[in-house]
Amino acid sequence: MTTPTPTSAGQLTPRTGDLRNPSPALVLTAALLGFALITLDASVVNVALPSIEDAFGGGLSGLQWVVDAYTLSFAALMLSTGAFADRAGASRAYAIGIAVFTAASAVCGLAPNLPTLIGSRVLQGVAAAVVLPASLSLVRQAYAEPAKRARAVATWAAGGSVAVALGPVAGGALTSLWDWRGIFFINLPLGAVALVLLVRAPRSERRPAPLDLPGQLLAVITLTAVTFAVIEGGATGVVALLIALVAGAAFVRVELRQSHPVVPLSLFRSRTVSVAVAAGAACSVAFFGLVFLFSLFFQQVQGRSALYAGLMFLPMTGLIGVTNVVAGKLAARYGARLPMLIGQLLATLGALVLLYVDESTPPLLVAWLLVPMALGCALTVPPLTAMMMDAVAAERAGLAAGVLNSARQVAGGLGIAVFGALVSEGFTAGLRESLAISAALFAVTAFLSFRLADRSAN
C-alpha cells in the first residue's frame, strides 16, 4: 500500500574525523535499496502462498502465519528499533539489519518445512524493523541542506511505493518462472549490493536513547497471542486470548508508569491522533487483508497461475504511488481532512462494489474493481499522516510516527488473521464478510474524520 511514515531514528551526523566523503546519492541508493527490500517482502509472498501450501501443506492457517510472522514481528519491534538505531548508530544498525535480513531470506529459501519457513520469516521481520528507521537516518545524515534532504526523503518514500506495486507481480513472476523459493533468494544479491554500497557511507555517531524493554516484551506477547487466538481458534485460541488480555492489561499498566514508554498513551488524549491512527489502521486491515484473500481467490478459486494472479494486482498497485503524490498536493492546498474524507468514502464504495464478486466474475473485471478501494486508501494515508504530525509537539513527532507505523502494520496482520478465519468456512461467503467489515471500518473512520473536521470548524 502506501509507504511507512518516516520515523526519527535520529538525525545523525558523520563521526568527526571520518575521512570518507561519499556522494549523498550513493548513500541514498544504499538506504533506498534496503527500504525497498523490506517493503517488497511485505507483499511479494502473497501470490506465492498456494505454491508454498503445495510444498508444505499446513492449510490456510499455515499460510496466514507465513505472512503474519513477518508483519507482526516487523510491527511490534518497530516500536523500539528507532531507539536501537540511535544507540548503535544508524550505519551500524542498518548493516546489522540488512545482514540479518539477507541471511534470514536464505533460510526461507532453503526451508525444508513450514515451521522453519515461519521462524525465518519472524527473523526477517525483526531485521526489517531495524532497517526501516536506520535507512531513513542514513538519508538524513547524507543531506545537510533541508531542501535537498526533503527531496531525498521523498525519493526514499517513493521507493517503498514502487516496491509495494511490484510485490505481487514480482512474486507471481518468480513463482511461475522459477519457484516460490525464488521470492526469497532474490533478496540475497540485492542485500549484498546494499551492504557494499554502505561501505562508502560515513560511520554514524551513537546517541543515548532510552529503551522500554518491559513494554516492548509485553507488546510482542499481546500481539502474538491475539493473532494466535484468531488464526488457530478452538480451546488453544481461548487460552491465547486470555494471555493476550492479561499481557495487554500489564502493558497499559507498565506504559502509564514508564518515564519513556514505547507507546506513550498520552498521545491518544488528542482526538486528532486517535482518529488518524484509527483511519490508518482501517486502511491496513482492508488493503493487506484483501491482497491476501484475492491472491488465493485468483489461484485457488479461479484456477489461475501465480504470474496471472500477480498481474491482476497491477492496476491497483500501479496507481498507488501517483495517488500518494496527488493526496499530498491536495492536503497542502485544501488541508488534510478533505482528501482524507474523499479517500475514506471512495474506499467504502470500493469495498461495497467488490461484494458482487464471485467465482464466475472475470478476473480482469475483478482487477479493476480492486482499484477504487486501493486508491481510497492511497488518498487517505498521506493526509492523515500530515494531520497527526501537526497534532503533536515537534519533539514527539518521531515517536508518534513510530506508533502510527506500528499500528498500521499490526492492523494489516490482524486483518489477514481475521479474514483468513472467515474464508476458512467457505471462501465466497467469507470474502463477502471480509468486504463488509472493511466497508464498515471505512465508514466509521470517515464519520469520525467528518466529526473531527466539524469540531475544528466551531
Residue 13 reports pLDDT greater than 50: no
Residue 438 lies in a domain: yes
pLDDT attached to residue 149: 73
Give the pLDDT confidence of 382-426 residue by residue, as tens digits: 888 778 877 877 666 667 777 887 888 889 889 998 999 899 888
Instruction: Return the minimum-mean-pLDDT range out of 79-93, 95-109, 404-418.
Output: 79-93
Q: Please indicate, yes or no, whether residues 318 and 218 belong to a single structural domain of this protein.
A: no
Instruction: Return the minimum-mean-pLDDT range out of 135-144, 147-156, 179-188, 284-293.
Output: 147-156
Instruction: Return the minimum-mean-pLDDT range out of 9-18, 204-213, 302-311.
Output: 9-18
Q: Please indicate, yes or no, whether residues 313 and 252 belong to a single structural domain of this protein.
A: no
Please report which confidence band the pLDDT of residue 16 belongs to, taking 50, 70 and 90 as the band edges.
very low
Alpha carbon 6 to chain centroid, angstroms: 12
Q: Tabulate helix, strand, coil % of the chain (nearest 5).
A: 80, 0, 20
**Average pLDDT taken over every residue of the chain:** 84
Decide which of 154, 171, 202 is a domain's last residue: 202
Among 2-6, 167-171, 276-280, 402-406, top mean pLDDT goes to 276-280
Residue 208 lies in a domain: no
Per the structure, how many domains does the chain have? Answer: 3
Q: Please indicate, yes or no, whether residues 61 and 157 belong to a single structural domain of this protein.
A: yes
Residue 203 reports pLDDT greater than 70: no
Q: Please indicate, yes or no, whether residues 180 and 247 belong to a single structural domain of this protein.
A: no
pLDDT attached to residue 155: 76
Residue-range definition of the domain harbouring residue 27 = 1-9+17-202
| CA nearest neighbour of 33 among 125, 98, 127, 96 | 98
Residue 110 reports pLDDT greater than 90: yes
CA dihedral over 444, 446, 449, 454, signed as positive or negative: negative
| CA nearest neighbour of 415 among 71, 97, 145 | 71
Alpha carbon 53 to chain centroid, angstroms: 23
Please report which confidence band the pLDDT of residue 357 belongs to, taking 50, 70 and 90 as the band edges.
very high
pLDDT attached to residue 5: 57
Q: Please indicate, yes or no, whether residues 416 and 374 belong to a single structural domain of this protein.
A: yes
Q: What is the dihedral of CA 45, 161, 202, 10, to 10 degrees?
A: -100
Q: Please indicate, yes or no, whether residues 190 and 295 belong to a single structural domain of this protein.
A: no
pLDDT attached to residue 457: 43
Is residue 355 a contact partner of residue 387, using CB atoms and an 8 Å limit?
Answer: no
pLDDT attached to residue 326: 80
Higher per-residue pLDDT: 6 or 131: 131
Residue 234 lies in a domain: yes
Q: Please indicate, yes or no, whether residues 141 and 45 belong to a single structural domain of this protein.
A: yes
One-letter identity of residue 426: G
Higher per-residue pLDDT: 165 or 20: 165
pLDDT attached to residue 21: 57
What stretch of H or E contains 68? helix 59-88
Residue 207 lies in a domain: no
Is residue 157 a contact partner of residue 320, using CB atoms and an 8 Å limit?
Answer: no
Give the pLDDT confidence of 229-271 residue by residue, as tens digits: 888 877 888 898 999 999 999 999 988 888 788 788 888 888 8
What stretch of H or E contains 147? helix 146-177
Helix then strand count (H, E) for the chain reads 19, 0
What stretch of H or E contains 453? helix 427-457
Helix boundaries (H) for 199-336: 213-232, 234-257, 271-296, 306-312, 314-318, 320-334
CB atoms inside a 10 Å sphere around CB 239: 14
Please report which confidence band the pLDDT of residue 51 belongs to, taking 50, 70 and 90 as the band edges.
very high
Q: Please indicate, yes or no, whether residues 277 and 196 belong to a single structural domain of this protein.
A: no
Q: What percent of the chain has pLDDT over 90?
A: 36
Q: Please indicate, yes or no, whether residues 279 and 253 belong to a single structural domain of this protein.
A: no
Q: Please indicate, yes or no, whether residues 29 and 97 belong to a single structural domain of this protein.
A: yes
Q: What CATH number did the domain enclosing 456 receive?
A: 1.20.1250.20
Place of cell 571520518: 18
pLDDT attached to residue 451: 84
Q: Please indicate, yes or no, whether residues 237 and 341 belong to a single structural domain of this protein.
A: no
Residue 7 reports pLDDT greater than 60: no
Q: Please indicate, yes or no, whether residues 419 and 450 belong to a single structural domain of this protein.
A: yes
